[in-house]
Amino acid sequence: MSRRRISGDEAARIGAERVSVLKRLSHEAARSGNDDRARRYVDIAVRICRKTRTRMPRDFRFCKECGVPMLPGVTSRVRLTGGKVVCTCLRCGRAARMPYQRERRA
């Protein structure tokens, strides 16, 4: 018997479901101090996104260097400086900078 092929849309849907579960599990592991397990969950989620050719959810932030989920106050420090949001990983020290615009008064 041959295996049933699934469509790309179906694979993407299944991948998105699994990534959301892994996101939740990685956040729980990071909050409890189990960094190795949190890194493993992030690694699996990245692999699923690559395999199914889907994007990582925008709200799933993780350190590109060490792979730990970026949770403000737990695994990262967030500062606002000079029109940028600077998220610093507390495990490896890598800083991620993202621009933001202040509200303009008319």
Render pLDDT for 70-86 as a digit per residue (tens, 0 to 9): 999 999 999 998 889 99
Judge whether 104 lies within some domain.
no
Judge whether 95 lies within some domain.
yes
Judge whether 3 lies within some domain.
no
Type of residue found at 26? S
Q: What are the counts of helices (DSSP H) followed by strands (DSSP E) for the chain?
A: 2, 3
pLDDT at 5: 86
pTM: 0.84
65 lies in which domain range?
8-99
Half-sphere exposure in the Cβ direction for 79 (13 Å, CA): 9
Of 36, 39, 87, 92, the C-alpha closest to 67 is 39
Judge whether 64 lies within some domain.
yes
Structure tokens at 26: 């990685």
Q: What's the mean pLDDT when you consider all of the chain?
A: 91
Cα 76 from Cα 91, distance rounded (Å):
8
